[in-house]
């Protein structure tokens, strides 16, 4: 299996709890909280590990929150390496309304990085990983990372295969197709609609936009998630759709990261892009069945993988 490295510049100490009902301007008595390691890259590595694959997580930690998060990573047996963050690791937390089932997710900011600090981490990756490694940048980029940083990362880490699943200005920049291109660019339907200015109502609409991005140079493969309608992918051999095998939704936390984990794990194991797409869909479907931030459980993934259906568009 080809090595997978996930990079998390802005992890979070994720807290999850619930309350009988959520209303403003009053104290809300919550159930006991759970504390887990969060951040896109951490979640991708966790998902791969839980599914029986191998991934190493490079995680930037700082301060008391970072120490607590490091203890959690050790307790889960995750293969991870620490780099020093320029400040205290952030919190994020989610609260579920037990009456309505609605989930409220609060994401706090993290420490500010300088360009020199970010480039030092890229140099470390380039000096310590094999050239055929999959390197995953999943989640928000840290404060201080300038638009275009991911392009710099791709150039610095070439020929390693870069996977990008981010948001905001960094996604907008990636979608412009300015070289160099990542191996995979992934986004959700909301992000795709904002980028395209189109409703993208059908699977074919989303797939056509993914192909527009691919031809523009935004990625060797472009994947757009369509929620309960599965995901579409544009790659050199065609346009594809994979169904979601959802059996209900308990928590949407980590579904996208689980998708990335499942798909990259498949590619690292030598599977075709189409089969890797199915693996990503099954991992995402498994993740929404788990409470809080548990991500995809292997027994759910094994049951759901045969239920995913791939079709050419």
Compute the CA torsion angle 216, 218, 219, 223 (nearest 10 deg).
Answer: -100
Query: 222 is written with which tokens?
Result: 């472009």
Give 104's strand partners: 95
| pLDDT value at residue 188 | 96
Three-state SS string across the chain, please? CCCEEEEECCCEEEEEEEECCCCCCCCCCECCCEEEEECHHHHHHHHHHHCCCCCEEEEEECHHHHHHHHHHHHHCCCCEEEEECCCCCEEEEEEEECCCCCEEEEECCCCCCCHHHHHHHHHHHHHHCCCCCEEEEECCCCCCCCCCHHHHHHHHHCCCEEEEECCHHHHHHHHCCCCCCCCEEEEEHHHHHHHHCCCCCCHHHHHHHHHHHHHHCCCCEEEEECHHHCEEEEECCEEEEECCCCCCCCCCCCHHHHHHHHHHHHHHCCCCHHHHHHHHHHHHHHHCCCCCCCCCCHHHHHHHHHHCCEEEC
Within 10 angstroms of residue 75's Cβ, the number of other Cβ atoms is 9
Separation in Å, CA 263 to CA 60, 114, 269: 24, 32, 10
Half-sphere exposure of 185 (CA within 13 A, CB side): 32
Per-residue pLDDT reduced to its tens digit, 218-231: 999 999 999 989 99
> What residue has token string 């638009």?
147
- Strand duo 103-107 + 90-97: pairing: antiparallel
Q: Which domains does the chain have, with CATH numbers?
A: 4-22+31-312 (3.40.1190.20)
pLDDT at 292: 61
**pLDDT < 70 positions in the chain:** 247, 251, 291-293
In this prediction, residue 251 carries a pLDDT of: 66
């Amino acid at each position: 299996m080809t090595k997978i490295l996930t990079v998390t510049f802005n992890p979070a100490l994720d807290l999850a709890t619930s309350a009988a009902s959520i209303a403003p301007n009053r104290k809300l008595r919550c159930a006991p909280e759970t504390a887990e390691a969060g951040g896109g890259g951490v979640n991708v590595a966790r998902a791969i590990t839980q599914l029986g694959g191998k991934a190493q997580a490079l995680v930037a930690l700082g301060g008391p929150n970072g120490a607590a998060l490091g203890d959690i990573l050790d307790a889960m047996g995750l293969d991870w390496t620490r780099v020093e963050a320029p400040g205290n690791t952030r919190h994020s937390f989610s609260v579920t309304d037990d009456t309505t089932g609605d989930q409220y997710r609060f994401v706090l900011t993290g420490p500010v990085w300088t360009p020199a600090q970010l480039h030092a981490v890229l140099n470390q990756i380039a000096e310590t990983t094999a050239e055929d490694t999959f390197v995953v940048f999943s989640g928000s980029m840290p404060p201080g990372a300038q638009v275009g940083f991911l392009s710099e990362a791709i150039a610095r880490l070439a020929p390693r295969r870069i996977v990008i699943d981010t948001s905001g200005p960094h996604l907008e920049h990636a979608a412009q197709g300015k070289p160099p291109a990542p191996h995979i660019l992934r986004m959700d339907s909301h992000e795709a609609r904002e980028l395209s200015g189109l409703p993208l109502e059908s699977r074919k609409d989303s797939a056509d936009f993914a192909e527009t991005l691919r031809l523009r140079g935004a990625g060797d493969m472009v994947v757009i998630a369509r929620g309960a309608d599965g995901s579409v992918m544009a790659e050199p051999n065609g346009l594809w759709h994979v169904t979601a095998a959802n059996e209900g939704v308990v928590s949407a936390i980590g579904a996208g990261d689980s998708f990335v984990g499942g798909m990259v794990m498949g590619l690292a194991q030598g599977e075709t892009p189409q089969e890797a797409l199915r693996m990503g869909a099954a991992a995402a479907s498994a993740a929404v069945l788990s409470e809080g931030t548990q991500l995809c459980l292997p027994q759910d993934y094994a049951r759901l993988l045969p239920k995913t259906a791939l079709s050419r568009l």
